[in-house]
Structure 1
Amino acid sequence: MAEKRSAGKLYFAVAFEERQDLDDGAGNVSSGWVERFQSRAGYIDMRGGEAVIASRLQGQHTLVVFVRASSQSKSVTSDWRIRDNRDGRIFNIRDITITPDRAWIDFLCQSGVAEG
């Protein structure tokens, strides 16, 4: 059975960032990441499965980042990314799942992959 979640499991501070076109004022447009909000989060490392093991061979790390469900966290899409505020690691969001009790949102993420 899965480990019970509680506020005590939210060890990490993360920022949710969305890609946005930015105008430099001279008519040029560049794309950059804009922080939308910050939240406390917990991490669950993915350890098994062929896809997870194959990703590790390519230098990628797969994990689930979970946060409390809120209007902000429900607005996140897989086009966004998550940044760990402590060490600056970037996690690309691959899938989003709301738990059956609707209290938590799970973000299946990968680190160590090129931005896309």
Structure 2
Amino acid sequence: MQAMPSNSISAGDLKHRVAFDKRAQVHDGFGNKQAAFQEEFSCRAAFSHRGGSEAVMAARLEGRHVLGVYVRSSENTRHIGSDWRMRDVRTGVVYAIDVVDAVTDRQWVYLTVESGSPA
């Protein structure tokens, strides 16, 4: 399935609640720093299923699911980077962000995300 053109997205398509996490240095209380993901913000999103694939990782077959995601353009969403991750709040599925197109248009930011790959 191809990505929806941005001019066909409307508020009624924003059916999913997603959270965006950014890796941050966190002190563990023992003088060490660990890189852990922390939620930056959450918003509504429209999903466009782009298909799936399978990859062999560590001698195991692993399924991957690729989504095209539209979120409203805002100060927060324009700062999403490929080193962030996206979580579906309802299902808990974590997606690695592959591509960020912050200049889709003035109204929407388009992301390509993939489940089953490390964030």
TM-score (norm 1): 0.85
1:86 — aligned with what?
90
Alignment of 1:39-78 (within 5 A): 39-47=43-51, 56-58=53-55, 59-78=63-82
> Unaligned regions of 5+ residues in structure 2, if any?
56-62
Instruction: Name the count of aligned residue pairs.
Output: 108
Runs of 4+ residues deviating >6 angstroms: none
Decide which structure has greater strand share. 2
Decide which structure has greater helix share. 1
RMSD: 1.7
Identity %: 34
TM-score (norm 2): 0.83
1:19 — aligned with what?
23
The 2-side partners of 1:71 and 1:15 are apart by 15
Structure 1 residues 34 and 73: alpha-carbon distance in aligned structure 2, compared to 1, 3 A threshold: same
| Deviation digits for residues 29-76 of structure 1 (CA, Å, limit 9, x no counterpart) | 1111100001000100113xxxx5xxx122111111110000010011
The 2-side partners of 1:100 and 1:87 are apart by 27
Q: Does 1:31 align with 2:35?
A: yes
* Paired residue type of 2:20: F
Structure 1 residues 6 and 31: alpha-carbon distance in aligned structure 2, compared to 1, 3 A threshold: same
Which of 103, 106, 110 is the equivalent residue of 2:107? 103
CA contact (8 A) 2:104 2:110 kept: no
The 1-side partners of 2:111 and 2:104 are apart by 14
